[in-house]
Amino acid sequence: MVTILFWSALAVVCALACAGLLIVAIRQRKVAFVVAAVTVFLVGGYCGFRAVHEILQRSRTKLALALEPRSGPEIYAALFGGSVGDCVVITDHQDQVVPKLDTAIRLRMRTCPAELKRILQQGPYILERSAIAAVLVEAEPPDRFAPALLGDTILRFQWTITEGKQWRTIYAKPDSTEAICVDVLD
C-alpha cells in the first residue's frame, strides 16, 4: 500500500509541476521551460504507470488467492469448526468455488465415532437409517461421493440450515468409521 501511495503521490506532484512549468513557459515564452515541463510530464507518466502496475499486480495476486481451491482440511474446518483431529482422514473433497455453478461442497472422510458425534451435535440433524437402495441422492454427486460406497446399510443425517437455501447431508457407515458430507448452498 505504501508503494502505491508513493508512486501515486509522485505522479500527482509531477503533474502539478508540469502544469506550473507550462504556465511559466507560456508567460515568459521560453523553450527551456517547455522542455522541462515535457521532461517532468514523462517522469510523472512513469510514476503513474508504476502506481497502476502495483495496483494490478496486487489485485491479481489477491484474486488468485481468492480463487485457489481449498484443501480438504480447510473445507473440514469451515464446515465443522476446528481442525482435523487425529482420528479424521480426509480421503476426497470437492469445493464449491462458484455457488450457482458448483452445487455443493463434498467431503469424504474416515473418522471415529466420537468425532462424528461432535459433528452431529452442531445442529438438529434428522437421522434416517436405511438400505442403500432407499436413499435418494438429490444432487446426483459424482461416483466417488456416492453413498453406495459406504456399504449396503447407511445412516443418513439431514440438517436444513436455511430453508430453501442451505442444507447438509451426512452419510455414514453404521459403525461411524467413514462418512460422506454433502453441503449444498444455493
**11-65 tens-digit pLDDT:** 999 889 988 888 888 888 888 888 888 898 999 899 999 999 999 999 998 888 8
User: Quick one: pLDDT at residue 180?
Assistant: 93
d(CA 1, CA 17): 24
DSSP letters spanning 129-152: EEEGGG---SS---GGG-GGGG-S
11, 40, 67 - which closes a domain: 67
Q: How many domains does the chain have?
A: 2
Q: Answer yes or no: do 120 and 93 share one domain.
A: yes
Looking at the fold, whether 99 and 157 belong to one and the same domain comes out as yes
Same domain, 130 and 169: yes
- Do 54 and 97 reside in the same domain of the chain? no
Task: Confirm if 97 and 79 have CB atoms less than 8 A apart.
Answer: no
pTM over cut 0.95: no
* % of the chain residues with pLDDT over 70: 92
Same domain, 136 and 100: yes
The full length of the chain comes to: 186
> Is the pLDDT score of 108 beyond 90?
yes
> How high is the pLDDT of residue 142?
52
pLDDT band per the 50, 70, 90 thresholds, residue 172: very high
| DSSP letter string, 142-178 | -GGG-GGGG-SEEEEEEEEEETTTEEEEEEE-TTSSE
One domain, residues 39 and 121: no
Residue 141 has pLDDT above 90, yes or no: no
Q: Are residues 97 and 47 in the same domain?
A: no
Q: Is the dihedral of CA 97, 102, 103, 104 positive or negative?
A: negative
- Say what the pLDDT of residue 51 is: 92
Domain match, 52 and 87 both: no
Same domain, 26 and 82: no
Structural domain of residue 116, as residue ranges? 72-185
Q: Is residue 4 within 8 Å of 23, Cβ to Cβ?
A: no
H runs (alpha helix) in the chain: 2-28, 31-67, 72-80, 113-120
Whether residue 165 is found in the same domain as residue 99: yes
Task: Centre a 10 Å sphere on the Cβ of residue 10 and count the other Cβ atoms it contains.
Answer: 17
With a CB cutoff of 8 Å and minimum separation 6, the contacts of 10 are 44, 47
DSSP code of residue 105: E
Structure-block grid coordinates of residue 95: 469445493
Q: Are 51 and 110 in the same domain?
A: no
| CA gyration radius, the chain | 30
Distance CA 138, CA 124 (A): 20
Instruction: Report pLDDT digits (tens) over 151-169.
Output: 888 899 999 888 878 889 9
At 31, is the secondary structure helix, strand, or coil? helix
Task: Assess whether 85 and 143 both reside in one domain.
Answer: yes
